Amino acid sequence: MSMRKINIIVGTVILVLSYFFWTDAAAIRPPAHIYPKTVIGITAFLGLTLLIQALFFSKGIADVKPLENMKIGRVLIVIISTIIYYYCLKTIGFFVTSFFFIIVLTWLLGDRQIGLKVFAKLGLLSIVVMGLVYVSFKIFLKVPTPPGILF
Amino acid sequence: MLADFLIGLQNSLNPINILIMSLALAGGIAIGTLPGLSATMGVALLVPLTFGMEPSSGLLMLGAMYCGAIYGGANSAILINTPGTPSAVCTTFDGYPLTRKGRADEALFTALVSSVIGGIIGTIFLMFATQPLALISLKFGSPEYFWMAIFGLTIISSLSEGNMIKGLLGGVLGLLLATIGIDPVTGHNRFIFGFRPLVEGITVIPAMIGFFSFAQILSLVDEDQKYLASYTPNKGIVSKVIGQIFKKSKKNVFRSSLIGTFVGLLPGAGGNVASFVAYNETKRWAKNPEDFGKGEVNGIIASESSNNATVSSSLIPLLSLGIPGSPVAAVLLGGLLIHGLQPGAKLFIESGDIAYTFIIGLVVANLLMLFIGYFGMRLFAQVLNVPSHYIATIVIVLSVIGSYAIRNSLFDVVLMIVCGIVGFFALRVGFEPGPIVLGLILGSIAEEGFSLSLLMANAQGSMFGTFVARPISAFLIFMCIMAIVSPIYVRIKKSRKNKSLENA
């Protein structure tokens, strides 16, 4: 997708977003409405400028395709793994979930070799990292971690 | 005063106190390096430890922790493009590009020396100009805060050279995100669209971790390089950096430290605002503004000297007026009260020895930081020798705990992930995270300043009188105009010069 098309989409999304914010701002009592409405107005104006530039003055836009050559598979692996990680740590608990998360994601992003040695190495890494996190965050700094049914 | 000063010097050079400060500095640097763990948290954790100590030793420990934590943010900003603290956001702009060029140790040592100089300059002002500076901070009302936020926002124009519209859009989207939550004037919910967790607003730190840290991890995974950057320790870095700072960048380090000192003494501002303003000014006065954002050491010098200068100056309202101007100052206030010390005008009269021990101790802590930071820097730089897929996974775990720790809220973890995903795709299509985070940081200051000024103007019956006809406001308005006009003037002058060279 070219930068011009992307700018058209972004400009349109900004305008739609501004519309929703503007509608919500109608309920704000004066004079508290002035600041947010000004910010929304400037946002909409800039979104419109981006849209007009993309539609009518496309010569000034660099001829690049920013979403091409993207390793979307690897990016999606991280995003999906992180979302699953979030849901698991909510129920299971931070330390147990993080231990498995480190093993699984490091393996997925690495060479993906299968073998006892590989997983033993990843397991050891995870134990060391989580051990350090536990000692520094939980014991020394007393930082709370997301609780769950396990640890 | 001289007697108190000498007692202070003696106390702060006591070997036990030096050991205490060294340990606190090391802890502070580690806390600052980890995104999500703040200086406030570090100082608050140490307060109970001071119960059994001499008041002077306890305060020295707290001060050293504060210095170390503010400096520590630069390490992760430079090495993995993830600011450990909001005040290190500007350090990423030039620090990370230097790391990518294989000059990580130069960037790290520049940040360290700049932080030390900034910290010492700020402390000198704390020592000798506490009373007059505290009075200036009292003259800062809502209109001044509003204009200061607008002045801070003018940096967007220099952060968005690729596409000005996208840079400005990023900035206003940050301002828009900052309006989500409770209205500061009426107390009503706004822009939450029926989603209750948004009532508490968009917290800066989880959003910052998302836009910088998580988005950076996605970029790293997308690049699929074995290592983050190539790194081999360069020889002669110490002399090179010291030569750069003291010969070529002395004006920059002094100006940025003064900006940091001034911004730091304003309650509610702090290292993040100071570093943005100093970075903007440095770029504006530089002969090579086009190099900023691509690995210009002056960018790191500006950011780090200014944010560390705020450490001491943020204590000026506390020590002279008894008003804590920052969250860390509020925690330190608790530390002072625990030891029976009442901050304010009488502090220097009734407990002058302890007050001067604390102030001179900040100078000593900054000097100690030079040594501790140097050894720490060598250790942190080894991160670059770890394969990037290990770093990616570990940074995600640290980002989760960092986001959660701010308010013990799982919503902040969601916020971090969402901001990270949005930030990654936004970066791909030309939106830099800097302006968005800048808008988010300055948004609440700007809105509060504007709304309260508006109420003042309505009461006084004069918009002009409230917003413009105040000396500090008028000066800030002048600075805003200069910040907008001067880059345009320089650009026109440059293009004319190029044209005349072409014609010749």
Judge whether A23 is closer than 8 Å to chain B, CB to CB.
no
- Residues 24-83 on A with a CB inside 8 Å of B are 24-25, 27-29, 31-32, 34-36, 39-40, 42-43, 46-47, 49-50, 53, 66-67, 70-71, 74-75, 77-79, 82-83
Average pLDDT in the B465-492 region? 83
From first CA to last CA, the distance across chain B in angstroms is: 66
Q: Give me the amino acid identity at A55.
A: L
What is the Cα–Cα distance from A42 to A39, expressed in whole angstroms? 5
pLDDT of residue B130 exceeding 80, the answer is no
More confident site: B236 or B21: B21
pLDDT of residue B247 exceeding 70, the answer is yes
- Using the beta-carbon criterion (under 8 Å), do A74 and B224 form an inter-chain contact? yes
Work out how many CB contacts closer than 8 A connect A with B.
153
DSSP state of B140: -
ipTM confidence: 0.94
Q: How far is A32 from chain B (nearest CA, A)?
A: 6
Q: Which pLDDT belongs to residue B496?
A: 81
Spatial contact of B159 and B434, defined as CB atoms under 8 Å apart = yes
Q: Which of B389, B446, B458 sits opposite A110 (nearest CB)?
A: B389
Q: How far is A23 from chain B (nearest CA, A)?
A: 9
Q: Which pLDDT belongs to residue B64?
A: 92
Average pLDDT in the B262-267 region? 81
Q: Which pLDDT belongs to residue B162?
A: 65
Alpha-carbon distance values, B341 to B5, B56, B326, B346 (Å):
17, 11, 19, 10
Q: Which of B175, B190, B410 sits opposite A24 (nearest CB)?
A: B190
Model pLDDT for residues A11-43, shown as the tens digit of each residue: 999 999 999 999 999 888 888 889 999 999 999
Q: Which pLDDT belongs to residue B177?
A: 94
pLDDT of residue B138 exceeding 90, the answer is no
Closest by CA to B71, choosing from B303, B314, B332, is: B303
Average pLDDT in the B351-360 region? 85
Judge whether A139 is closer than 8 Å to chain B, CB to CB.
no
Q: Which pLDDT belongs to residue B322?
A: 77
pLDDT of residue B489 exceeding 70, the answer is yes
Query: What's the mean per-residue pLDDT of chain B?
Result: 86
What is the Cα–Cα distance from B359 to A35, expressed in whole angstroms? 41
Q: How far is A114 from chain B (nearest CA, A)?
A: 17
- Using the beta-carbon criterion (under 8 Å), do A106 and B393 form an inter-chain contact? yes
pLDDT of residue B256 exceeding 90, the answer is yes
What is the Cα–Cα distance from B297 to B98, expressed in whole angstroms? 8
Model pLDDT for residues B343-352, shown as the tens digit of each residue: 776 777 777 8
Q: Which of B45, B396, B428 sits opposite A141 (nearest CB)?
A: B45
Model pLDDT for residues B77-115, shown as the tens digit of each residue: 999 888 888 888 899 999 999 998 888 989 999 999 999
pLDDT band at B333 (very low <50, low <70, confident <90, very high): confident
Judge whether B221 is closer than 8 Å to chain A, CB to CB.
yes
Quick check: helix, strand or coil at residue B461?
coil
Q: How far is B495 from chain A (nearest CA, A)?
A: 18
Helix, strand, coil percentages for chain B (3-state, nearest 5): 80, 0, 20
Residue in B closest to A24 by C-alpha: B191
Q: Which pLDDT belongs to residue B119?
A: 94
**Chain B residues touching A39 at Cβ < 8 A:** 172, 175-176, 179
**Chain B residues touching A90 at Cβ < 8 A:** 410
Which of A53-67, A98-112, B34-48, B150-164: highest mean pLDDT?
A: A98-112
State the Cα torsion A61-A6-B202-A93 to the nearest 10°. -130
pLDDT of residue B160 exceeding 70, the answer is no
Q: Which pLDDT belongs to residue B158?
A: 65
- DSSP structure string for B116-139: HHHHHHHHHHHHHSHHHHHHHHHT
DSSP state of A60: G
Average pLDDT in the B430-434 region? 85
Model pLDDT for residues B161-212, shown as the tens digit of each residue: 667 788 889 999 999 999 999 988 888 889 998 888 899 889 888 898 899 8
